Chains A and B, each alone.
Chain A
Amino acid sequence: GNSVTQMEGPVTLSEEAFLTINCTYTATGYPSLFWYVQYPGEGLQLLLKATKADDKGSNKGFEATYRKETTSFHLEKGSVQVSDSAVYFCALSDLSSDNAGNMLTFGGGTRLMVKP
């Protein structure tokens, strides 16, 4: 079956530090990969996505590259801000899997805390 593994948090950084949140996946088909962000008290919202190998998704200064050879989709940002404090979820979509109705398989989430 499909699965997504993320580094455990919390990750605590100072403002302007470099961020990496690791994500690896297992899928039976050719998945699309996503990062969602959950700000305090809110629902999840799509941050970026990549639909095929070697694609790079980017948004709001965040980037992630779909690496099929290492089955990874690590999230990076060159200079974090206090407003980036949130929980980040890596996810995959693989409609060729047995449970095609489960549009997204999520990782466990990584909490990021950015201090001024």
Chain B
Amino acid sequence: EAQVTQNPRYLITVTGKKLTVTCSQNMNHEYMSWYRQDPGLGLRQIYYSMNVEVTDKGDVPEGYKVSRKEKRNFPLILESPSPNQTSLYFCASSLWTGNTGELFFGEGSRLTVL
């Protein structure tokens, strides 16, 4: 089954404790991206990657890191989480074929930073 898998789905942590949210896709997609979803703000892009070892900042990259060592994996790293990073996070992937717009989303990871 084609899917994007994120882990953990739920996490409560404390300020400053490093954490990683993993994302894996089994569709051989070149493009992967991380979004955060906050009430009234829709989805805002954090980082994206157009292929292995190619990553770039989205609209809200501050406080986050990513890596793309393998095509299928795109982890999101919070080196020193802060309460304003409490949010619902989504990983998404797609074939990079222009304005097709069909992103495949994971089920989301709800993060609470105390």
Contact = CB atoms under 8 A, between A and B. Distances in A.
A44 B99 contact: no
A95 interface: yes
Nearest to B57: A101
A45 B105 contact: yes
Given A32-B100, A32-B101, A89-B42, A43 B48 contact: no
Contacts of A106: 42-44
**A contact patch SS:** loop
Interface residues of A, number: 27
Nearest to B6: A43
B33 interface: yes
Contacts of A95: 98-99
Interface residues of B, number: 27
Contacts of A102: 45, 48, 58-59
Interface in B39-56: 40-45, 48, 50, 56
Nearest to B44: A106
A89 B107 contact: no
Given A101-B56, A101-B58, A51 B99 contact: yes
Interface string A40-57: 011111100101000000
Interface string A62-101: 0000000000000000000000000001010111000101
Contacts of A31: 99
